[in-house]
Structures are given as C-alpha cells and as structure tokens.
Amino acid sequence: MKVTPQLDLRARDEDFINLNPLQTGGRTYPETRKAVSSYVDGYSVCDWCAGDLCSITKPGVQGMLGEISEFLGMEESILTNGCREAKYIVMHTMCRPGDTIVVDGNAHYSTLVAAERAGLNVVKTGGNTKPEYKVTPQSYREAIEKAKKEAGKPPKLTVLTHVDGSYGNLADAKAVADISREYGMPLLLNTAYSSGRMPVDGKKLGADFIACSGHKSWAAGGGNIGMLSSTGEYSEKIFRKSAGFKIKPLEILGCSTRGAQTLALMASLPHVKERVKKWGEEVEKARKVAKEFGKIGIDAYGETPRNHDIIFCHSEKLYEISQTHKKKNYFLYRELKERGIMGIKAGLTKQFKISTYRLNDLQIRHVIDSFKDIMETLG
Amino acid sequence: MKVTPQLDLRARDEDFINLNPLQTGGRTYPETRKAVSSYVDGYSVCDWCAGDLCSITKPGVQGMLGEISEFLGMEESILTNGCREAKYIVMHTMCRPGDTIVVDGNAHYSTLVAAERAGLNVVKTGGNTKPEYKVTPQSYREAIEKAKKEAGKPPKLTVLTHVDGSYGNLADAKAVADISREYGMPLLLNTAYSSGRMPVDGKKLGADFIACSGHKSWAAGGGNIGMLSSTGEYSEKIFRKSAGFKIKPLEILGCSTRGAQTLALMASLPHVKERVKKWGEEVEKARKVAKEFGKIGIDAYGETPRNHDIIFCHSEKLYEISQTHKKKNYFLYRELKERGIMGIKAGLTKQFKISTYRLNDLQIRHVIDSFKDIMETLG
C-alpha cells in the first residue's frame, strides 16, 4: 500500500503557544473535539435529514441557527462552507456580472477573489496608509462617489471588513452602514475576525448581511464552516429556494457543511457566547504585548491603541539580527520554537503578524520575555 | 451557559450495521480518525501554507492531488468543498447564464440545483422508466438534438451521473462521452457514488471533467470534501487563477477545504486505492442481497443484475404489514434497529434504499436473515 507522504500528526496547538492569527480563534474546545470525533464519518449530520441541512432538528442545526441569528442581532442565518463562500453568495445574489461594488482598502484577498468570480468591478476605499492603515467612513463616501461617476449609477453593494486580518483594525461599521444606506446600497459586513471573538450586533451596526468564519473565530473545527446572516429586507432573496426543489436553499446548493464541522460549531457555541463577554480582557492583553514590544524595538502597525488581538509587528532590529545570524532569516522561527512558541511564518523577521487571543497571563508573559531574551541575546 | 439542545454523541457506525447509501462509502478508517483528531482545529492544514491549499506540500496536499489525478486517469485535480460544488464550478466556468446543458434523467438534485444557480437551462434525457430506470446513450443523442432544436445551437455541456444515488445504475459513460464529443460538448462525469468505491478511469471513459465526493465515497471525514479533475484541453480554463492574486484558483476562491477533511482524504487514500480493486466482491454482495430479498417479497428496482452496492427496494408486503402494525409505518425502522441495523429512513416501508458497501459476509447474512425474520414474524 503506497503511503501518501508526510502525513505527520499535528500537535501545534497542544505542544506550543500558537500565535498564528489564522488559528487562535479556531482552536477547539474538548467538547468540540468530542463532537467531531463522534460525527467524523461522511454525511453523519444527515442521519435525520429533514430535507435540507439548515432544517435538521436532530442534531439541532435549526435551533443553533436561530441562536446564532439572535447572538448576531440578525434575523435569519444559514450555514455556508466558509466566510468567503458566504461573501460570494451575497455578491452572486445581489449583483449581476459587470456591476460595481465598493470594498475597503484592507479587504482580505478572498473578498476580491469572490468579487472576481462573480464578475464584479471593485472600487476600493483609499487613505488607509502607514502606519495606522485605518479605513475611514469618509473614504467610503469618496469611493462610492467615484464608482458612481465611473459607472453612471450607484454601486450595488458595500463590503466592509469589520476587523481586517493584517492590522487588526476595528472599522466603524455603523458609520459605513449609514453612508451605505444613504446611497441605497446594502452593507455586507465581513466578520471573519470579529464575530465569535468579540460582541457583534448586526442591528446596532446596521449591517444587512453578516459573513462569519466558524473555523476561524467560532472555535469550530473538523472542516471549514461559515455562517451568513441577513435581515428581513434581503433574507428572502439571499436565502431563496430552488425553483425545482422547494426546500433547497439555492446558494448553498441545498446543503453546505454536511459533516462534523456543523457539530463542532454546535459544541463550541456555548463557549463562544461566553467568551465574547470577556472581549475587553483580550484587548487588554494585546495592548500589553504591543506596549512591551514597543520598548524592545518591535513596533505595531495598525490603530493605536489596539482594539483586537491581531498585532502587525514591524522590527528593523530583528531584521538586522537576521543579516548576520547563521540561520539567516529563519533564526526568529527557530529561536521561538525552541522556546515553545510557534505561529510566526518561518523566514519572517522584519514584518510578521501575531495574535494573543485566548493566551493566558503566563503565556503572554512568556511570549514577551522570549522576544526580549532573543533581542538581548542576539541583538 | 445555555447548552445547545440535542448534542448527543453519534455512534451509528460503531454500534450498528448502517445501510444508508449516503454513508457507507464515507465511513472512516482508524487512520482517518487519527488524522481528523490531530488536525481538528480551524485552519490546521495551513501551518505551512504555500500560498494556496492545493499547493501545500507539508502536509502533502499537492502530492495527494497528483496521486488522485493518476488514480482517476485524469491530468489535474483540485480540492473542492464537495461534489456538488465541483459540478457548479464546471457549469459556472463552461457556460454563461441562459445556456443549455444536457443532464441524465437520474441526476441527483444537486446537479439540477447547481445548474439553476448558474442560470442554466436543463434538458433531461428521457426513457429511464420503471423498473430498471436505465439511462441509455441513445437518450443523450435525443436530448442533445432536442436542446439544439429549442435553442438553435448545441448545448454547452453534457452531465452524466456515473452511478445514480436512487437505483445504483452504472451508466455507459464511454458511449455518452463519444456522443458528447460528436457534438463538440465536454462531458462532466458525476462520480459521487462511483470513484472511491470502484475503479474509474477518466481517460478510458472519455470524461473531460470528473466530480468526486470525498466524504461520500472516499472515506474522507471531519467535514465535506470533493475533488474536481480535468484533462488537458479544459484544465487551464477550469483551474484558472485570479487575475489579481496569481496563485489563487478562482473557482475555489483560493482555497476550499481548509481543515481536517483534507487530511482525512489523505489518510484514507491508501485504503481507497486498495478497496477499488475488490469492487467485484462488493457487486457480488449486492447481487446476493437483491436475490435473497427477491425471494421474500422485496424487489429491487434498477438494472438487473446489479452493478453497484445501492439497492432500491420495493415491497408491497412490508407496506401491507405497516397498515395493521401498532407502530404503523415506523415498524420497519424499529424492528431493524432492535436487530442492530440502521440507515433506512424511519417511516419508509414500501420503497427504501440500502447499500451493502463494506459489509462483511456475517453482516450481509444478518441483514438478509433479519428481513426474513421480520417478514415471517409479522407478515
């Protein structure tokens, strides 16, 4: 039997402090792991299929989606294969090929790729420049006006990255929603890095659609999963059923996450509801790290003070060390790994991202001390 | 903490003989479960991201896709969120809204829903009638001619369900491919119930695209996963990269199965490669059950003899029992459950589907004996 190469077991989140911003919010709980193990087989969630995934009551998928809508201050939610798939659904439903949408300058690549797949023109907001890279509501007004002028009509959709994955900036969603409404444009809020970590109330923020990443920020696991929530005005359109198969939501081809990840989300949800209440503590941790890093020659790009656990680090000093170190630019990765810390991309020294999410005080202390130690020993 | 209701653990495949055709090919191996547990956290597969999922070499995603292409007799493969998502990708790439495609009369609903989402007109083949429900190559010629006449031009794509999920009929893919080629139409072969269970050689069959279901027939688990394979002529188009992000395959929005299911497929692949070699034994098992069932008043719809593990059962006798039984139409589900057998939808008696896939001889014997016993005791 030919063994597919490199199927090593993974223990990064068990054996190390993992700082990878992509992964800290998707770390599973013991209950999540139990649920995934139990529902590991293909189509396990369909034992008691009621016609479509989102209507299943045993296990309680339908009830969970109701809870999620309430939790997000929205009216209706469906499961999607991920956050990017949720964004594509909104674009594919609300726009026609050739239409224009307005997107923030810090948008994740998947927002732009989703727009490209849907055949849309994208006008990006400007002004989000070094070192804070802030996206301002005013820049949306300018981008919408620009798009209007170019196309001769208002763009079809506003997309805002609630918290971007590069700088961890928290955008003023309410202000962008107000501007969007002024132009009669619905707002899609990409909460891949916010909902599930911090409180998000779609009603208060004025979002028409909320795209969520279950495996990035809701501690879901096993496979990728997302959620798309909508408010009354657009729910019927976005969640429309197939003409031929009246119970099948068209945009998820009937059923999306037909596996263990649905149960993972379900098992993690009670934890998620609790953890967002402690968001203030998470922000404090990030601020503490940013402050301590600042003292040793690692600056944080993005807004000051920090409002999120992602920190974009910039350090000329670490780069200088790499120039003479025998491991070259891999020295930082190796030094950190020796100290039980992973998640910074191997080879990066001058600029890298970390996330302090869900680290405890001892771990935070260890991360700060480790960087200090590396800088002092090698710098 | 509010506990989401009904999060019972699942043990259907551990404690019962499971006959659900949706699930027998997606039952995981011990190695699969180990891989899923190990990669359970969100974005676990991205530890050593090389820019996009399908290029990752640690773990060996790229190598696995090469193996899969070779295994399927195709040239290039990508991971998708499932088989239906793979079908949508082909339709979305090869057709424009308003175009017509030709689909077999036994097509799964997700084929039709994918076509609807892509804005396509569908002409179905006819003649697949009771009791064999066979789709003939000739019916494709008729459907293509009909579509041509209606639209004034040849349809854009032929879709064939290699083995359908209702009757388990094995279609003559080669003959349909030849007809399709005659009209200059590419053929998409839906192998949700064939590849991973039985040998499928895309080159021999003449398929231009093959859509696979990892969680249905390749023993992948954790979450849903599919594969889309293509041949030279169309590979570049179907696997085209984003214009703005040159390494991101556009149709999977950069990365599809960014979780444990990718590792599940990898862990199961060596088993899958071996098991397809024993496909003859699986067919024999199904034929034996169909034959024994025939003797006790349960007929099999679909082709005779059977060429697949799915059996569509029809029984007036079981229906008659349900009419006077105190558990009414739930009697069959309950009687079988008492005997350690599950997977037939609760409430069905007259018509139901089973799959004998991967049952051992003792289990096959027990299934036959159990039905006999139920019929004799209650009939």
Confirm if B259 and A222 have CB atoms less than 8 A apart. Answer: yes
Distance from CA of A72 to the nearest CA of B (A): 16
Is residue B148's pLDDT more than 90?
Answer: yes
How many angstroms away from the CA of A256 is the closest CA of chain B?
A: 8
pLDDT digits (tens, 9 = 90+) for B307-340: 999 999 999 999 999 999 999 999 999 999 999 9
Mapping DSSP onto H, E and C, the string for chain B reads CCCCCCCCCCCHHHHCEECCCCCHHHCCCHHHHHHHHHCCCCCHHHCCCCCCHHHCCCCCHHHHHHHHHHHCCCCEEEEECCHHHHHHHHHHHHCCCCCEEEECCCCCHHHHHHHHHCCCEEEECCCCCCCCCCCCHHHHHHHHHHHHHHHCCCCCEEEEECECCCCCCECCHHHHHHHHHHCCCCEEEECCCCECCECCCHHHHCCCEEEEEHHHHCCCCCCCCEEEEECHHHHHHHCCECCCCCCCEHHHCCCCCCCHHHHHHHHHHHHHHHHHHHHHHHHHHHHHHHHHHHHCCCEEECCCCCCCCEEEEECHHHHHHHHHCCCHHHHHHHHHHHCCEECCCCCCCCEEEEECCCCCHHHHHHHHHHHHHHHHHHC
Contact A40 B63 (CB under 8 A): no
Model confidence pLDDT, tens digit, residues B8-62 = 789 999 999 999 999 999 999 999 999 999 999 999 999 999 899 999 999 999 9
Q: What is the DSSP letter of A242?
A: P
Q: What is the pLDDT of residue A271?
A: 98
For residue B355, the distance in angstroms to the closest alpha carbon of chain A comes to 14
Give a three-class secondary structure readout of A272-335: HHHHHHHHHHHHHHHHHHHHHHHHCCCEEECCCCCCCCEEEEECHHHHHHHHHCCCHHHHHHHH
Give me the interface pTM, i.e. the ipTM.
Answer: 0.97
Residues 6+ apart with CB under 8 A from B311: B168, B286, B289, B290, B293, B300, B302, B353, B354, B355, B356
Size of interface A-B (CB pairs under 8 A): 279
pLDDT-derived band at B133 (thresholds 50, 70, 90) equals very high
- What percentage of chain B carries pLDDT values higher than 90? 96
Distance from CA of A109 to the nearest CA of B (A): 8
Contact B273 A25 (CB under 8 A): no
Q: Closest to B250 (Cβ–Cβ): which among A4, A116, A251?
A: A116
Which residues of chain B does A241 touch, with a Cβ-Cβ cutoff of 8 Å?
Answer: none
Q: What is the pLDDT of residue A3?
A: 44
B138 lies within 8 A of chain A by CB: no
For the segment B362-374, what is each residue's pLDDT rounded down to a tens digit?
A: 999 999 999 999 9
Those of residues 84-113 in B touching chain A at CB distance below 8 A are: 84-85, 88, 92, 109-110, 112-113
Query: Shortest Cα distance from B182 to chain A (angstroms)?
Result: 30
Considering only the beta carbons, identify the residue of B81, B243, B273 that sits closest to A116.
B243
- CB contact under 8 Å between A36 and B40, yes or no, is yes
Band (B2; pLDDT cuts 50, 70, 90): very low
**Interface residue A245 vs chain B (CB under 8 A):** yes
**B-chain residues within 8 Å CB-CB of A220?**
42
Q: Are the Cβ atoms of B3 and A261 closer than 8 angstroms?
A: no
pLDDT given at position A210: 98
Residue B7 pLDDT class (50, 70, 90 cuts):
low
Round the average pLDDT of chain B to a whole number and report it.
96
Task: State the 10-residue block means of pLDDT for chain A, 379 residues long.
Answer: 60 96 98 97 96 96 98 98 98 97 98 98 97 98 97 94 98 98 97 98 98 98 98 93 97 98 98 98 98 98 97 98 96 98 97 98 98 95
In this predicted structure, what is the pLDDT of residue A5? 43
